[in-house]
Amino acid sequence: MKEGYDFINAERGKFYRPDAKLNIPVYLDDEVRDFVAEIAEQKHSDLNRVVNDLLRLDMELR
C-alpha cells in the first residue's frame, strides 16, 4: 500500500446503486440440508427451489 492516497478528485457514491439486489448467503445445518436435498432429489428439483417453496408455505400459514 502507498503511504497516502489523493482523493481530491474522488466522487462520493459513484458506484452506489440504491436498487442493487443482494443475495444473502444462508447456511443450513447439516441435518436440514440433507432433508432438503432429499426432497429436491425426489422432486428432480434444486435446493434453492425447495427451500423457497418451504418458506413460502410457512409464510402462507402465518
* Domain range summary for the chain, segments of one domain joined by +: 30-61
Q: At 51, list the grid cell.
A: 427451500
Return the pLDDT at 45: 97
pLDDT at 31 over 90: yes
With a cut of 90, say whether residue 39 has pLDDT above it: yes
User: What predicted TM-score, i.e. pTM, was given to this entire model?
Assistant: 0.65
